[in-house]
């Protein structure tokens, strides 16, 4: 009797604990991310002042009823710039790793599945790409190709190829030796069919979780590029560019640098939280292995 009671409490405990932990650690970051995405999408329709409109008399004003987050060095509305800046950060943050994951994922899958010479070539290519200091490579790209949203996205996308290739190669290696892949071969399935039907579905969940984390890394990288003046060209607002502008007046108007920094911090932290949780949720059975 007592034994069965202990058993049932033991069985109930692990089921209830992750659910409670999931509660605030998932809802808070997810709520923040949804808010950022919602505002970035609807920025044009919610009555924001023009993010490029200057009001030089009202420069570096602290937050007030009229300017909820104050104004910057040129008297532009900070709230509006933050929200339009979110648009830039999200476009680069989502598209760049997606690009990298398409290319890197395909390279990693081929390397992990075919092994041999293809693997050697792919791993060599990845190592060469990794040997370049990431920021220098991105700077070179935008310096030569010109500063634009597309070029920044392309540069950061190329930077995310090696990480994506490594994740997909490691996962492919693990899956390609499973018996069900052997079974697919015994029925005469082609390599293409095995890769797309047997291995890819098992690769997508970990890749998705990794992609969420990659978004946060890319948002920071885009901020660094803008901070160095080689990111998105002015007057299009971006968080990194705002921090760079605000740095000049850090002593007299600290909010001009701290507010965009805090927003970027919250967004990146939220992405990492959600990414971690998704990775754990992807398959609890397999993570136990």
Partner 1 sequence: MNDLLRISDLVVEYPVGGGRRVHAVSGVTLTVRDGETLGLVGESGSGKSSLARALLQLPPPQGGSVLFDGNELTQLRGKALRAVRPRLQMIFQDPIASLNPRRKVAEIIAEPLIVSGVADAAERTRRVRSVMEAVGLDPDLVWNRRPHEFSGGQCQRIAIARALVLEPSLIVCDEPVSALDVSIRAQILNLLEDMKARFGLTLLFIAHDLAVVKSVSDRVAVMYLGKLCEVASSEDLFASPAHPYTAALMAAIPEPDPDLPLGDTKLKPGDPPSPLDPPSGCRFRTRCPLAEPRCATEVPPLRAIAPGREVACHFPLVA
Q: Which of residues 202-221 bind partner 1 (CB under 8 A)?
A: 202
* Nearest approach, Cβ of residue 168 and partner 1 (Å): 16
CA distance readout (Å), 170 to 175, 203, 217 = 9, 10, 21
- 115 lies in the site for partner 1, by CB under 8 A: no
Please give the structure tokens belonging to residue 200.
Answer: 């890819």
* Residue range at the interface with partner 1 (CB under 8 A); choices 67-75, 90-98, 162-170, 185-193: 185-193
In contact, 153 and 96? CB cutoff 8 Å: yes
- 285 lies in the site for partner 1, by CB under 8 A: yes
Which of 72, 77, 198, 245 forms a contact with partner 1 (CB under 8 A)?
Answer: 198
* Nearest approach, Cβ of residue 26 and partner 1 (Å): 24
CB contact burial 119-134 (16+ within 10 A = b; e otherwise) = beebbeebeebeeeeb
Closest CA to 74 of 232, 240, 249, 197: 249
Is residue 19 within a helix (H) or strand (E), and if so which, with residue range? Answer: helix 2-42
Q: Which residues contact 254 (CB under 8 A, 6 or more apart)?
A: 246
* Nearest approach, Cβ of residue 183 and partner 1 (Å): 5
* Nearest approach, Cβ of residue 204 and partner 1 (Å): 8
CB-nearer residue toward partner 1: 23 or 185: 185
CB-nearer residue toward partner 1: 88 or 172: 172
Please give the structure tokens belonging to residue 114.
Answer: 């075919």
Residue numbers of the site for partner 1 (CB under 8 A)? 178-180, 182-190, 193, 197-198, 201-202, 283, 285-286
């Amino acid at each position: 009797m007592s034994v069965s009671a202990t058993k049932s409490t033991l069985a109930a405990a692990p089921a209830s604990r992750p659910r409670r932990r999931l509660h605030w650690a998932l809802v808070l970051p997810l709520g923040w991310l949804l808010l950022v995405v919602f505002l970035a999408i609807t920025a044009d329709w919610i009555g924001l002042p023009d993010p490029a409109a200057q009001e030089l008399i009202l420069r570096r004003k602290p937050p007030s009823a009229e300017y909820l987050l104050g104004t910057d060095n040129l008297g532009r509305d900070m709230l509006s710039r933050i929200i339009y800046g979110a648009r830039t950060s999200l476009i680069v943050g989502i598209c760049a790793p997606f690009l990298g994951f398409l290319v890197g994922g395909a390279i990693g899958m081929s390397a992990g599945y075919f092994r041999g010479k293809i693997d050697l070539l792919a791993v060599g290519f990845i190592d060469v790409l990794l040997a370049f200091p990431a920021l220098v490579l991105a700077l070179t790209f935008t310096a030569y190709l010109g500063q634009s949203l597309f070029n920044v996205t392309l540069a950061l996308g190329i930077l995310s190829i090696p990480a994506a290739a490594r994740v997909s190669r490691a996962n492919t290696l693990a899956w390609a030796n499973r018996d069900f892949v052997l079974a697919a071969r015994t029925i005469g399935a082609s390599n293409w069919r095995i890769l797309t039907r047997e291995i890819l579905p098992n690769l997508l969940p970990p890749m998705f979780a990794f992609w969420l984390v990659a978004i946060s890394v890319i948002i920071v990288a885009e901020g660094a590029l803008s901070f160095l003046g080689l990111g998105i060209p002015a007057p299009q607002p971006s968080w990194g560019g705002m921090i760079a502008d605000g740095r000049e007046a850090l002593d007299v108007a600290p909010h001009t640098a701290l507010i965009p920094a805090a927003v970027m911090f919250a967004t990146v932290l939220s992405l990492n939280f959600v990414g971690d949780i998704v990775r754990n949720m992807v398959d609890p059975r397999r993570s136990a292995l």
